[in-house]
Amino acid sequence: HEMTGFGGVIKNIGMGCGSRAGKTEQHSSGKAQIDEALCRGCLACQKECANQALDFYKEDKKMRVNQDNCVGCGRCLGACNFDAISFDFNAAVEMLNRRMAEYAKAVVYGRPCFHISLVVDVSPNCDCHGENDVPILPNLGMFASFDPLALDQACADACLAADPLPGSQLAENLAKRDFHDHHDHFTNNRPESEWQSCLAHAEKIGLGTREYELIKIK
């Protein structure tokens, strides 16, 4: 993944189970923006705002954002049916990782959960892309645990120990003469990404432990 390094259990739960506004909050450190050409002046977003951050101008029947009051919660985004509201997806990667871990804990807290990860077809880009490339690593099998953090750590360790597949984006990056080897497949695949802070924060807030015992079953 170009921001979080890889998409494991924590990302799939934290991001996948988040609401539309929740996904925005995780990705965005910015505030709401309104495209006046798309705004219908229906006031639906204003009814959802708890911070008096949306002002309706009767002169042109358009909504505008009070940047001083906006806290970037994303509730207005979910209320707009005309795609007039957007956010600046420019959150620092570490902040995204922390929020993702916190959302994941909110989903699983107090609930019996068992998690399964298939480490197969490890593509170089997020599945939100309309296109992708050949896998960067060989298929490593199925991993399972009651602990989502231990599972992510085990999968990450297995990936880091594997050899890159020839012809993949990862292998091509490593073959570049001036490429800086980070000794981390995820970072070497996407140098702008960072994944350690997610697992570190998940452990800090009690989502699980990074310690694990790997039991192989054939």
**Cβ-contact 32, 76 below 8 angstroms:** yes
Q: Is 85 helix (H, G, I), strand (E, B) or coil?
A: strand
Q: What is the pLDDT of residue 91?
A: 59
Helix (H) or strand (E) holding 27: helix 20-27
The share of the chain scoring above pLDDT 70, in percent, equals: 95
Residues 54-80 have pLDDT tens digits of: 999 999 999 999 988 887 777 888 889
Residues 118-142 have pLDDT tens digits of: 999 999 988 766 678 899 999 999 9
Confidence grade of residue 26 (pLDDT, cut at 50, 70, 90): confident
CATH numbers and ranges of domains, the chain: 9-18+92-204 (no CATH), 31-87 (3.30.70.20)
Please tell me which residue, 147 or 25, carries the higher pLDDT value.
147
Q: What is the pLDDT of residue 90?
A: 54
Q: What is the mean pLDDT of the chain?
A: 91
Residues 74-105 have pLDDT tens digits of: 788 888 999 999 876 555 688 889 999 999 99
Render the burial of 23-53: b for 16+ CB within 10 Å, e for the rest: bbbbbbebbbebeeeebeebeebbebbeeeb
* 2 has pLDDT over 80: no
**Cβ-contact 102, 205 below 8 angstroms:** yes
Q: What is the pLDDT of residue 126?
A: 81
Residues 28, 127, 98, 203: what is their CA dihedral angle, to the nearest 10 degrees? 170
